[in-house]
Amino acid sequence: MADHGILSSLLTTFQPINFFSCFIGAVVGTLVGVLPGLGPAAAMALVIPLTLKLGPTAGLIMLAGIYYGSMYGGSTTSILVNVPGEPASVVTTLDGYAMARKGRAGAALAVAAIGSFVAGTFSVIALQFFAPLLARSALAFGPAEYFTLTVLGVILLSNLTGKSRARSLIMIMVGLLLSTVGTDPVGGMERFSFGLESAQGGISFIALTTGLFGVAEVFAVMAEGEEQIKLLPVRFRELYPNREEIKRSAAPMARGSVLGFLIGLLPGPAATMASFASYGLERRISKHREEFGKGAIEGVAGPESANNAAAGGAMIPLLSLGLPFTPATAVLLGGMLLHGITPGPFLLRDRPDVFWGVIGSFYLGNMMLLILNLPLVGIFAKIVRVAPKYLMPTVLVLCVIGAYGDNSSLFDVWVMLGAGVIGYVMRKYDYEPAPLIVGLVLGPVMERSLRQALIISKGSLSGLWESPLCIAMWIVILLAAVLPFAMQVVRKSTGTRRNA
| Cβ at position 435, least distance to another protein in Å | 12
CB 379 within 8 A of CB 123: no
One-letter amino acid for residue 446 of the chain: M
> Contact 183/16 with Cβ under 8 angstroms?
no
Nearest distance from C-beta of residue 50 to another protein, angstroms: 13
As a whole number of angstroms, the distance between CA 427 and CA 450 comes to 32
The strand pair at 190-191 and 182-183 is best described as antiparallel
Looking at the Cβ atoms of 1 and 397, the one nearer to another protein is 397
Task: Tell me how far, at minimum, the Cβ of 390 lies from another protein, in Å.
Answer: 5
CB of 278 within 8 A of CB of 304?
A: no
- Shorter beta-carbon distance to another protein: residue 421 or 472: 421
Nearer to another protein (CB atom), residue 289 or residue 451: 451
CB of 91 to another protein, least distance (A): 22
124 vs 155 by CB, closer to another protein: 155
Q: Give the nearest distance from C-beta 139 to another protein in angstroms.
A: 25
User: For another protein, which is the closer residue by CB, 281 or 395?
Assistant: 395
Q: Are 81 and 214 in contact (CB under 8 A)?
A: yes
Residues within the interface to another protein (CB under 8 A): 35, 37-38, 46, 164, 166-167, 169-170, 173-174, 176-177, 180, 184, 186-187, 189, 191-192, 218-219, 221-226, 387-390, 392-394, 396-397, 400-401, 404-405, 408, 410, 413-414, 417, 421, 424, 428-431, 443, 446-447, 450-451, 454-455, 458-461
Residue 192 C-beta: closest distance to another protein, Å:
7
DSSP, residue by residue, 428-459: HTT--SHHHHHHHHHHHHHHHHHHHHHHHTTT
- Strand positions, DSSP E, 142-300: 182-183, 190-191
Q: Which is nearer to another protein, 322 or 418 (CB)?
A: 418
Residue 419: CB minimum distance to another protein, A = 12
Measured from the CB atom, the residue of 314 and 417 that comes closer to another protein is: 417
61: nearest Cα among 308, 359, 358: 358
- DSSP letter assigned to residue 229: G
Cβ proximity to another protein: between 227 and 244 the closer is 227
Minimum Å distance from CB 145 to another protein? Answer: 18
To another protein, the closest distance from the beta carbon of 272 in angstroms equals 19
Question: What does the DSSP assignment read for 298-362?
Answer: HHHHHHHHHHHHHHHHTHHIIIII----SHHHHHHHHHHHHTT---STTHHHH-HHHHHHHHHHH
Shortest separation between residue 269's beta carbon and another protein, angstroms: 18
Tell me the C-alpha distance between 182 and 220, whole Å: 31
The set of residues, in sequence order, having a beta carbon less than 8 Å from that of 273 and lying 6+ positions away, is 153, 263, 266, 310, 441, 442
247/428 with CB nearer another protein: 428
Other C-beta atoms closer than 10 Å to the C-beta of 455 total 12
Question: Closer to another protein at the Cβ: 457 or 467?
Answer: 457
Between the alpha carbon of residue 162 and those of residues 5, 37, 218, 290, 337, the distances in Å are: 43, 31, 24, 9, 45
d(CA 47, CA 36): 18
